[in-house]
Structure 1
Amino acid sequence: MGSGGGPDGPEGEGGWRLSGSLEEFLAVAGAYLRSRPALHTVALTVSDALERRGLDLYGDEPPRFGWCAEAGEVSAVLLWTPPFVPMVAGGDEAAARGLARVLAGGEGPAPGGVGAPVEQARAFAGEWARATGQATRRTFRKRLYRLGTLRRPALPPGRPRSAGEGDRATLERWHDGFAADVGATVGLGAGAWVDAGLARGGIRLWEDGGRPVAMAVATQPVAGSVRVTTVYTPPALRGRGYAGAVTADLSARVTAGGEQAVLFTDLTNPTSNGLYRRLGYEPLAEFEEYTFEEGRAEAAAP
């Protein structure tokens, strides 16, 4: 990226500064992210993973970072790990539009989309369309939940257990099944994803009749928060209560360790939203993701 707020460059439009340095990003914006760990769960876990495992974790193209400061206080951040779309955390619509103009006017690869809280995502997408002439298309609507008081469901047959190396083939297959269900890449390839999950002991299974029938996964704890993710039951085994049972078990383990549990749902999936509410998860915020495409520019979808 070049003009106005390029990596290690001057402050850009609307107070934005961009950097290629994770160390600088965390030094400047880390406290802001940790101040609201549930709301900033993705930025925290991704930056933590990059710090622990290297900047090439998600691909060969270097990550990009940014922050918007008002009166010396960070109010929004950018975390972009190609090939995934940039994530914007915090800020308001004006900040989102300013960032869109900075990225549209800079050098280097252009983002293929954006993910952010609803109003910021729409503001960014609309400004990007105006600045570039590209069309914008909403691809995801997500809701972030935080666990209040866990309400355990009636349990199906079986028991929970931690996944081990002997489960690798099943886990890799389920990783791909989950990705197909949600229509998105799940961060890492199946093998690397299993390696990371087993290494941190973050994959819980529900086992019935001696075989795994469902899984739920916990991220690495960061700033007192853990995200429950990749809850999956093979299609032939759904509707039996396995997903609720393994999610409740994992959630209880998270809170027993003193962490708060959060998770995302697809707003177009009433089954998962209903399940997590019954378990005691409470809505916290909504997010949208947009893809940018060549063609007639349109305003962000309502």
Structure 2
Amino acid sequence: MFVRWGQHDNDLEALPFILDEVRYNLLHRITEIEDSLCMRSENGQLLFAQSPGHNGWLWMSRSLAGDEEKRLLQELVNHLEGRSLPGISGAPQTAYPFAVEYSRANNLRHSTQMTMEAYHCPEVYKLSKVKGEASVATMQDVDVVAHYLAGFSEDAYGRTVEPESQLEPARGLIESGKLYLWRVDGKAVSMANIAHRSPRHGRINAVFTPLRLRKKGYASAVVAAVSEQLLAENITPMLYADLRNPGANKVYRNIGFVPNGQIADIGFSPN
């Protein structure tokens, strides 16, 4: 049996979840989104959360035995009957068995879209001096941020978009006051965004440096600066990194980010 849960419940404050919290940090954000579907097993050992139009996220307690895990996964598949699910995200050992059962029940194919490493940064390592400084983006930066978002879309998702289409998202990020730019002689050369703050973590995303400006330490510098800001707020920086990009993973590790486990993004498509 499954019951509804949300951000005002204590499911994300229970110790079994906190042990996996870095890897499943996005659940905090999903529970805040209106119209998200959030369900848990009656015993709280399985949590499912899906924001409209996106992959569902699936967490299961490490204490579950194999038979109980299989039973709960099958119950969840049955419970989701008739609901459109583009994909599932979770620890590989949880996401893949669910994908197999869900695909079989709904006559779908499943394929891995991305495998990410979840990192947290308890301490920022001292870096070699990089020219420039970090500052919060302003509306004067909207054009360059739109270009950076277009570049990030191509790097991260393989989607080519026109910078003009990113002007509105750029304005939104700037208005949030959470987007940081690394500037050299006043000109932006790299960016990083604080996507969300949860009780114990600050999630960083949208890290991007134009190709012509890479290998100069700018991405390391801006992520380190943002991380120091979060640590000063007594919350721990965390982020997800695509394992297909070893360069980015190396950058994060060199700053002080520690691996906390993988997340598989699995997509569903018609047979």
2:241 to 265, 274, 284: 265
- The answer to whether the 8 A contact 1:103-1:110 is kept is no
Tell me which residue corresponds to 2:55: 85
Shift of 1:145: 0.7
SS in 2 for 1:102: helix
Return closer, same or farther for 1:106/1:150 CA change in 2, 3 Å cut-off. closer
Tell me which residue corresponds to 1:138: 112
Runs of 4+ deviating beyond 6 Å:
none
Aligned: 1:114 with 2:88: yes
SS in 1 for 2:114: strand
Question: Partner letter of residue 236 of structure 2?
Answer: Q
The TM-score with structure 2 as length reference comes to 0.85
- The answer to whether the 8 A contact 1:101-1:131 is kept is no
Return closer, same or farther for 1:106/1:282 CA change in 2, 3 Å cut-off. closer
Tell me which residue corresponds to 1:204: 180
Tell me which residue corresponds to 2:206: 230
The aligned runs of 1:62-211 (5 Å cut-off) are 62-70=35-43, 74-91=44-61, 94-95=68-69, 98-99=72-73, 101-104=75-78, 106-183=80-157, 190=166, 193-211=169-187
1:244 to 220, 224, 240: 220
SS in 2 for 1:230: strand
Gaps of 5+ in 2: 160-164
RMSD of aligned residue pairs (Cα, Å): 2.6
SS in 2 for 1:129: helix
1:26 to 8, 16, 38: 8
The CA distance in 2 between the partners of 1:289 and 1:196, in whole Å, is 26
Tell me which residue corresponds to 1:299: none
- The answer to whether the 8 A contact 1:200-1:220 is kept is no
Aligned: 1:47 with 2:17: no
Return closer, same or farther for 1:88/1:235 CA change in 2, 3 Å cut-off. same
Return closer, same or farther for 1:124/1:280 CA change in 2, 3 Å cut-off. same
Question: Partner letter of residue 26 of structure 1?
Answer: H
The CA distance in 2 between the partners of 1:224 and 1:139, in whole Å, is 28
SS in 2 for 1:258: coil
Q: What per-residue deviation string (whole Å, max 9, x for no partner) do you get for residues 6-56 of structure 1?
A: xxxxx2xxxx33x4x74xx632634349845433310112323x2xxxx2x
The CA distance in 2 between the partners of 1:236 and 1:39, in whole Å, is 32
Tell me which residue corresponds to 1:255: 231
- The answer to whether the 8 A contact 2:200-2:236 is kept is yes
**Percent identity between the two aligned chains:** 20
Shift of 1:95: 4.0
Aligned length: 260
- The answer to whether the 8 A contact 2:202-2:238 is kept is yes
SS in 1 for 2:119: strand
